[in-house]
Each structure stands twice: as C-alpha cells, then as structure tokens.
Amino acid sequence: MAHIETNVIHQGANLDSSYHSITAPIYASSIFAAQDLDQRPPFDYTRSGNPTRKALEDTLACLEGGALASATGSGMSSIMAVLLMLKAGDHLIAPQCIYGGTHRILASIIQKFGIEITFLPDLNNLERLRENIKANTKMIWIETPSNPLLHITDIKALSEFTKALNAKILLVADNTFLSPYFQKPLELGCDLVIHSTTKYINGHSDVIGGVVVSKTEALGTEIANYVNCLGLACSPFDAWLVLRGLKTLPQRMEAHQKNALKLAEFLGKQAVVKKVFYTGLPSHPQFELIKKQMSGFGGMLSFELDTEKADLNKFFQSLKYFSLAVSLGGVESLIAQPWSMSHASMPEKARIEAGLSPAIIRVSAGIENSEDLISDLKTALEACCSCC
Ligand SMILES: Cc1ncc(COP(=O)(O)O)c(C=O)c1O
C-alpha cells in the first residue's frame, strides 16, 4: 500500500483509456448509453453514478481505509445520508459541542421523524454514556476534534465500550477538522466517516461538497442507495475540483498545522487573550490522547478574548489577512465568532452547554507566511484593546 502523498495523486488518475490524460477527465454527461438490454454500461445516469465522481469516491475510500465512499453535494447532505439509516423509534447520541449545522439537523429536523436524540457533554465519560444507551440506541455521532472548542473523543475507547454493549450500534465520526492525513477513524473502530469536503479535502474555498466513507461494503451500498434515491450526489465538475484540491492535502495540512501552532503560541502570550484552545499545545487537557489518536494537530484553533478590555468589532475590522467568514480549511486564513456565525442556529441554551460565548473566536490558519499572520493579529489586538 502506497503512502498518502502518493495515493492523493495516483488514485483517481488513469480514467481516460482513449487519450491517457494525466488528470481525471470531467464526464459532463447526465446519461451513458447501453449497447443493448444485455450489455449495460458501468454507469447509466449521473445521479446514480459518474466516472469523475467515482474517481473521487475511490480516492477518498482509499485515504480513509474504507470499503466504499459516496461523494455528495455538501457536508450536510453526507450527514443526512448517514442519518437516513435511522428509522422512527431509534435513538442517537451526540456530543453537545458539535458543528452548529449538525446540531440543527439533529435537534430540529431528524427529531420530527420520531428519532430520539440525546446530547451529552462528554462522550469520554463512559459511565454517563452507559446510563444513556438504551435498547433503541442505533447510532453514536462524534466530532473529534470538535467544532469549535477542539474537544477530543477517545475513538478507540468509545468504540470498544459501545461495541461490547451492543455491536449493532453504529459509530460515526465527522473527520472534517483533521482529514485522513491526521486521523483515521475507521482504523480506530468507527463504522462510518463523514467530511465536509468543502474544508481541508478540497482546501481552496471554491466548492461545497461532502463524503461518507464506510468501513464495509454493505454499509456503503446502503449509503449509495440513499444518495441515489434522494439525489444527494455532487456534480462531476465539483468532484473534479475536489480531486484537484486533494492532490496537495498532505502539504497543505503540514503548512496549516505549522501556522496554527505559531498562532496558538502567540495568542497564549497576549494579556487580552484569556484562553487558547489548540490540540498542539501541551496545555490542552487531552494532550496525551491527542498524541496517541491523531498523527498531527491540524490547523484549527480557538481563543477567548477578554471582551471587557477588547472591542470585538474593532478587532475584526483591523485584520488584513484574516477574513471574517464562516467555513474553514482553505489556503487563506479565516476568523469567525461561532456564537453568531457557524453555531448561530443552535438555541442559546445549547450554545452555552457547548461551552460557547460571544468571546470565543475560531481561527482557521491558512498557509500564508506565519510572520505576516502574527503581525496582523498583533496589530488588530493593539487596535481593539484598551490595555495593549
Ligand atoms: C465539522 C463540520 N461538519 C460538517 C459541516 C457541514 O459541511 P457543509 O457546509 O459542506 O455542508 C461543517 C461546516 O462548517 C463542519 O464544520
């Protein structure tokens, strides 16, 4: 088995047997013709399958170490495809600190269909988990590191514990924050992995996309059926863009991580910063687990600004290289207030339970020069702060 740096480039290539193009062609066709009723082509209709999309799916299945993958039109549609495995009367457990859109789909859409949801503060608390697992519990959802506070769930411990109680409970991980370059949830005991490929997998902030990767063919076939029936798949052009972005995933992840660590160290020394949340800091309360479970720390960090001393709007207005924008994982640095942006759809009580407040700021470290990024933050902190 080749290394990830090789697989991101060579998996998904060699699609073109007519002209041997080096990159995967975009099969911009909604239909593929059959010879006759007995000789059906491998693809017939692009909602059900498309060669460019399959090249992306095969590559992502290979990177995550899964059997099958389905590439969808957004991270949310991947999440929806997984949730369609549940039926009325089933129960799902998820953490309180989770991407706001995932919370919204669970709390306000899925519950409408008679599926019970329990949000727990910490899925590492196995005794509390045991008390909440019921006969109808069918799925446990994890997001590790969590968005935006970088809580870590011990995937292996959770999987061993859950499967010993009931082997049929499906364990699903949102691996968006780390990508398969830094974490492989299927190897640690998950059944399904989802990504918003909008983020690091594509990496260039020009596509909305998602993927579900399954450990077994049976699970993957079920997901592919939902994707086909509901028309959740991504377009051939978007699949091609993601394939292109994916080729530099390892190099980008290293660069994101290098910058994130420098930004976290810088922020940790600022009087106006009350707390820094970053998986690469030895002060992270789960640093030992992080080093065991992840092969890198990633490019996401958050910090709590002392809003009694600093004016948030002045801070955001004074930044030159960090755009005040939702999303993450692109080559450009982004900054956001989860309270009013990525997590605004959560009821206030749920945001507070998740550990959020308006003073928490999330940073997606881009791959620009780190000195420029630090100097930008320094200038903005000086401009917004009455004491700096
Ligand atoms: C961790 C995580 N999962 C899923 C999603 C949803 O992905 P998309 O916006 O591509 O639908 C997001 C979006 O921000 C996210 O941060």
Check pocket membership of 76 for ligand 1, CB cut-off 6 A. yes
pLDDT at 291 over 90: yes
Average pLDDT over residues 316-334: 98
Using alpha carbons, list the distances in angstroms from residue 298 to 7, 156, 161, 286, 327.
20, 20, 27, 15, 15
Q: Which residues contact 40 (CB under 8 A, 6 or more apart)?
A: 34
How crowded is residue 343: how many other Cβ atoms within 10 Å of its Cβ?
A: 26
- pLDDT at residue 100 in the model: 97
> Which tokens in the block code for residue 333?
């640095």
User: Which position has the token pair 């709590």?
Assistant: 304
- From 35-39, 71-75, 223-227, 293-297, the region with the lowest mean pLDDT: 35-39
Q: What is the pTM of this model?
A: 0.97
Check pocket membership of 238 for ligand 1, CB cut-off 6 A. no
- pLDDT at residue 1 in the model: 81
The rounded Å distance from CA 36 to ligand 1 centre is 42
The rounded Å distance from CA 53 to ligand 1 centre is 20
Closest ligand 1 atom to residue 209 Cα is: 10
pLDDT at 385 over 90: no
- pLDDT at residue 137 in the model: 98
pLDDT at 387 over 70: no
Check pocket membership of 210 for ligand 1, CB cut-off 6 A. yes
Q: Which residues pair with 211 in a beta bridge?
A: 71, 195
The rounded Å distance from CA 384 to ligand 1 centre is 30
Give the separation between CA 105 and CA 382, rounded to whole angstroms: 39
Report the catalytic residues: 47, 99, 174, 199
Instruction: Give the architecture (CATH level 2) of 4-246.
Output: 3-Layer(aba) Sandwich (3.40)
The ranges of the chain annotated as CATH 3.90.1150.10 are 249-384
The ranges of the chain annotated as CATH 3.40.640.10 are 4-246
Average pLDDT over residues 90-109: 97
Under 8 Å between Cβ of 268 and 330 = no
Instruction: Give the architecture (CATH level 2) of 249-384.
Output: Alpha-Beta Complex (3.90)
How crowded is residue 40: how many other Cβ atoms within 10 Å of its Cβ?
A: 11
Average pLDDT over residues 19-36: 95
